[in-house]
Amino acid sequence: MYPTVAEVVALPVIRQGKPRLVAGSAGLSRRVRWVHVAEIADIAPLLRGGELVLTTGVMLPESGLARYVEELAAVGCAGLVVELGRRWRDDVPAALVTAAERHGLPLVTLSEETKYVAVTEAVVGLIVDAQLAELRAAEQVHETFTALTVAGAEPAEVLREVARTSGLPVVLETLGHDVLAYDAAGHDPVVLLDDWAARSRAVTVSERTAYDTASGWLITIVGARGADWGRLVMVSPDPPPHRHVVVAERAASALAVHRLVARDRESLERQTHRTLLSQLLGQSPQSPDLGARAAALGVPLERRQLIGVAVRPVSVLSGLSGQTLATQEVLRDLAEATALAGRRVTVAALVGVVDDTSVRALLSVPMTVGVEGVLRKVAREIHRTAASTVVIAVGTTVTSTTDVRRSLGEAAHVAGAALRAPGSQLYHRLDDVRLRGLLHLLRDDERVRAFADRELGPLLARDSTQGSRLVELLRCLCEKGGNKSAAAGAAHLSRTAYYQQLARIEQVLGVSLEDPESVLSLYVALLVHEMGP
């Protein structure tokens, strides 16, 4: 907002005094916040910084000129203007010049009498005009970004307006320094984003909006207080004017509102879908208007091919192989990814979180469209869109809403079984999980649990009390189809050492591992045990 010393010296009212820069040319770009007329030597304590001091020098001591300049520079004085003729006729003392040059303080002499009041009026007028222009620009920024907020502008539109208004590159990143969107403002985007995460991690700010001089970044936190989720970075090599700060803050507000509105809109949609899915999964008779309500959501259920789908995130906990870690937040994000996949493939679908383990979806496909092609497209999109690795399971295709419960339940059972050995398939059906699928369906049966405990009980107790790994070594043998050499390699043991451990297993269990039926029984027990309670 403030003019520089060079701009002030160029004003006609000062040009009439025939100004001459005698020292401190390095400080000509300093901003002049105010103009102050002062004749006394100890004026520095009364200044706040940014003042252009006007004097005739009549009160300045000859022996304290260097100290006088040093004090002005220490408080951030913008410059010093000395009118000649009253104290010094043709030039100022060398001590004054030397001190001003040493501190980079612009020292200007006026050889003609100058009305300092006219100088003050002219400079203050310049400052006020700049402030008014800045206020008008800020008001225009407010109007522009308010319009974008009301219109629900996407982040790309908001960043485009930031770049257009400021002329600076802008980047929207997560708090983890991943780039969400950017506008290079005509600059090379490769250069802008090169090694972004490392560069961004090195720049921290203590305020919600701050300028980092070292990096040349103007940074604004995006999000509501206590729920921040990103940073808006404007690349500004020079300290930004006030209007750029306003642009950054208004853009951050627009982005935060967009995220809240989008999240609320999707959450409401997910809640509605979850209600319908819960009714389809329920034991009680279905509501007579269920089909109409689903159709109103764009998911017709009559005369359609209906396929239940379950999507589960895969996360293995140390020491608990295969156990799923699926928080509600993870599942909500996964539900949004699944819904987005359906929209991209243009398949009607109900998508929601109906339990604590998986996302459920009911695809509604026209009778004339091939189901397998649709499933492949949807599965690819889910895998591509989801934030983490997932297992996708598909139930039997049905054509009646009364059979939807079976398809959705089957998909959930298949997902649970496939989670133990997800492989690389796009999606799983009941045929794919075979024995694991059957055992998953029966895992809550007390007789099945009792069978597993009888088969493995002594071995589990031995591992627990003595810290051995006999259960793990037995699993290697079963998974390698009884091939001891291959099992030894999988266990990272020599064949001699592995054979000794197999002999110990036989001794503990009282069975022969040469008997195929014994190995089969133990493998079934291992699968049941892995599924947990």
Structure confidence at residue 315 (pLDDT): 63
305-333 average pLDDT score: 65
In the predicted model, is pLDDT for residue 316 greater than 50? Answer: no
Tokens of 73: 């520079």
Q: With beta carbons less than 8 A apart as the criterion, state whether 212 and 219 touch.
A: yes
pLDDT number for residue 363 = 94
Crossing angle for the helix pair 495-509 and 446-466, to the nearest 10 degrees = 120
Per-residue model confidence as pLDDT tens digits over 172-187: 888 888 777 889 999 9
CATH number of 282-441: 3.30.70.1130
Distance CA(126)–CA(118), nearest Å, equals 12
| pLDDT tens track for 327-384 | 677 888 888 889 989 988 999 999 998 887 889 999 999 999 999 999 999 999 998 8
* pLDDT (mean) for 274-279: 87
Mean pLDDT of the chain: 84
What are the distances in angstroms from CA 392 to CA 84, 317, 429, 485?
87, 20, 9, 34
Q: What is the pLDDT of residue 292?
A: 77
Which pLDDT score, from 0 to 100, does residue 297 have?
Answer: 74
- Helix H or strand E segment including 225: none
The answer on pLDDT for 244 being more than 60 is yes
Least confident of 93-107, 195-209, 434-448: 434-448
Superfamily name with CATH number, domain 5-125: HprK N-terminal domain-like (3.40.1390.20)
321: pLDDT strictly greater than 70: no
Q: Which residues are paired to 221 by β-bridges?
A: 231
Q: What distances in angstroms separate CA 241 from CA 138, 158, 236, 444, one per listed residue?
A: 11, 20, 10, 67
Q: What are phi and psi of 359, to 5 degrees?
A: -95, 130
In the chain, where are the structural domains located? 5-125, 152-260, 282-441, 446-530
Q: How many CB atoms lie within 10 A of CB 24?
A: 24
In this predicted structure, what is the pLDDT of residue 437?
A: 58
pLDDT digits (tens, 9 = 90+) for 179-233: 778 899 999 888 888 888 889 999 998 899 999 999 999 999 998 766 788 899 9
Comparison of pLDDT for 191 and 285, the residue scoring more: 191
In CATH, which of 3.40.630.10, 3.40.250.10, 3.30.830.10, 3.30.450.30 is domain 152-260? 3.30.450.30
> Mind listing the pLDDT tens digit for each residue in 67-94?
999 999 999 999 999 999 888 888 999 9
Mean pLDDT for 2-9 is: 88
Position 519 pLDDT exceeds 60: yes
Residue 283: which pLDDT band, with cuts at 50, 70 and 90? low
Helix, strand, coil percentages, rounded to 5, for the chain:
50, 15, 30
pLDDT of residue 467: 80
Q: Are 47 and 125 in contact (CB under 8 A)?
A: no
| Token pair for 399 | 């054509």
pTM listed for this prediction: 0.45
Phi, psi of 438 (to 5 degrees): -60, -45
pLDDT of residue 193: 85
Share of the chain above pLDDT 90, in %: 26
In the predicted model, is pLDDT for residue 509 greater than 50? yes
| Per-residue pLDDT at 442 | 65
Determine the average pLDDT of the residues in 402-424: 79
User: Which tens digit of pLDDT belongs to each residue from 472-500?
Assistant: 888 888 878 888 888 888 888 888 888 88
Whether the pLDDT of residue 44 is over 60: the answer is: yes
Mean pLDDT of the 134-150 span:
79
Q: Are 32 and 123 in contact (CB under 8 A)?
A: yes
pLDDT of residue 531 exceeding 70: no
CA distances from 268 to 96, 120, 164, 305, 351 (A): 73, 61, 35, 26, 12
Q: How far is CA 374 from CA 82, 347, 349, 400, in A?
A: 83, 8, 12, 19
Task: List the structure tokens of 50.
Answer: 């940014």
Model confidence band, residue 132 (pLDDT cutoffs 50, 70, 90): confident
